[in-house]
Chain A
């Protein structure tokens, strides 16, 4: 598995450091119109850089999911472009949804094997990768379990393991922890940061939670609705690894207040 690993990117954070990172993809003046006149996104610009942990934060209906689906190439822009710096290969991108979206007829191992199966790799060739990623999410004892035998948090771990097993460049996560209880969510937040560090990827993370976005990300993109658009970008200038002490620090509280204010402003704009 270490064969795929890219050299660790700098742990420097802050606006200048982030802007200096190599580009992964950029959205340029992207519009998305549904039906005849539902403007889900208007003039969205976003530069995604290697190693970024970007949170998309905004009220319901501001086009966060739409932005992710555009990046995933599941839908196409009405106007504007999404450009990858390097041509996108099959396993460069992974997605995690709000629901774990596991195949109920398949075991945990078979579920995590899915991306490899679809790219034609035999199980024996990637068995060690699967074992390793399952160990990383703490499910090494559950290879043969079926999704119905797992708790909500464990299902989400399987979903994350499936997304990470191919060492993708970019992972898109659409409110992955929204349906979980707070204790589980905190635990998964910590583990997600550790995993990201380990596989060295870029993450775009959609959330409604100011606290979650501040804890996880180095960039928070705040969006407003009607029409969906980016209104501000905040930088969380705090070094990784972030631990439970960060969660209780004064800096954390300050960042949360700043993000809350921006979000409140976004809600007023979307009225």
Chain B
């Protein structure tokens, strides 16, 4: 942590460089490079090893296709796979948005009334602890529209971390500040807007990062349960379909797309979190020592 008044005398000329500080700067730079290079290296090595294992053992492509075949499937079936990717993305993003609105909305409602919280929080917990594969078939019986059913399933999986984290955050506002708001006669709305919501932001963003991944899992699982989907089929359905046809390279290609989607969601939610907190929150501030 730096304080502003110390900052002003940092850039003095003729200051002898401290060897320890120089070493630290070097280490930091190396770490930064390593952060990207090492994982990339591991990926490359894995692909090479995979390719070697397949060729040396002469594995047939319906048991384990080599990386070249998977890439080929990805390119050849791109028309179909990209369509499915869009479907899966739509469900995932839709469910996440509803989870955000519903989770934050419920959390705000809960903090406005202890009674509402006591009455309804158990239901949220029950929804969360019951495995989605157990609920999903019922949902598809009662909901005619397949897309809506998928959205509901993904939402059920994703909304709880947002609800519980935001509730915790709204209640964790500094008690002195709460007293101060009371002394100044703040209204309920002012307290929510200027104290509770900003206090809850880091907690909410933590929940969002988890919920992003969960909504993708929810979307995929729900689609497995929902089964055949005709034209509006997501990536999970493509995997099922490809497995019936023993088209293993396409299964891998679809799997690859799902994994990439998950990584992108995680990266995006982390980026949003960093951008919103970098000015003030400890989690977003790199310690310098």
B-contacting residues of A (Cβ < 8 Å)?
A: 69, 72-74, 90-91, 93-95, 97, 99, 101, 103-106, 114-115, 117-119, 142, 145-151, 154
Interface centre among B184, B185, B201, B281 (most CB of A within 10 A): B184
Distance in Å: Cβ of B186 to nearest Cβ of chain A: 5
Within 8 A of A (CB), among B167-202: 174, 176-177, 179-186, 190, 194-195, 198, 201
In the complex, which residues of chain B have a beta carbon less than 8 angstroms from the beta carbon of A72? 179, 183
Q: Is the CB of B4 within 8 A of A94?
A: no
Q: Is the CB of A101 within 8 A of B180?
A: yes
Distance of A90 Cα from B174 Cα, bound (Å): 22
Distance of A90 Cα from B187 Cα, bound (Å): 12
In the complex, which residues of chain B have a beta carbon less than 8 angstroms from the beta carbon of A114? 180, 184, 194
Distance of A115 Cα from B177 Cα, bound (Å): 12
In the complex, which residues of chain A have a beta carbon less than 8 angstroms from the beta carbon of B176? 97, 99, 101
Within 8 A of A (CB), among B145-181: 174, 176-177, 179-181
In the complex, number of A-B residue pairs with CB atoms less than 8 Å apart: 68
Given the interface pairs A99-B176, A103-B195, the reply to whether A148 lies near B184 with Cβ below 8 Å is no
Given the interface pairs A103-B195, A104-B281, the reply to whether A118 lies near B4 with Cβ below 8 Å is no
Distance of A72 Cα from B179 Cα, bound (Å): 9
Q: Is the CB of B182 within 8 A of A115?
A: no
Q: Which 9 A-B pairs have the closest CB atoms?
A: A101-B176, A118-B184, A97-B176, A105-B198, A118-B186, A149-B4, A105-B280, A104-B280, A90-B185
Query: Interface size on B (CB < 8 Å)?
Result: 26
Q: Is the CB of B3 within 8 A of A146?
A: no
Q: Is the CB of B180 within 8 A of A95?
A: yes
For A95, give the chain B residue with the smallest CB separation: B183
In the complex, which residues of chain B have a beta carbon less than 8 angstroms from the beta carbon of A154? 3, 5
In the complex, which residues of chain B have a beta carbon less than 8 angstroms from the beta carbon of A118? 181, 184-186, 190, 194
Distance of A261 Cα from B280 Cα, bound (Å): 46
Interface centre among A73, A97, A103, A115 (most CB of B within 10 A): A103
Distance of A151 Cα from B1 Cα, bound (Å): 10
Q: Is the CB of B183 within 8 A of A117?
A: no
Question: A90-B184, A149-B2 known; 17 other A-B pairs, CB under 8 Å?
Answer: A93-B183, A95-B180, A97-B179, A99-B176, A103-B195, A103-B198, A104-B281, A105-B279, A105-B280, A106-B198, A114-B184, A114-B194, A117-B194, A148-B1, A148-B282, A149-B3, A154-B3
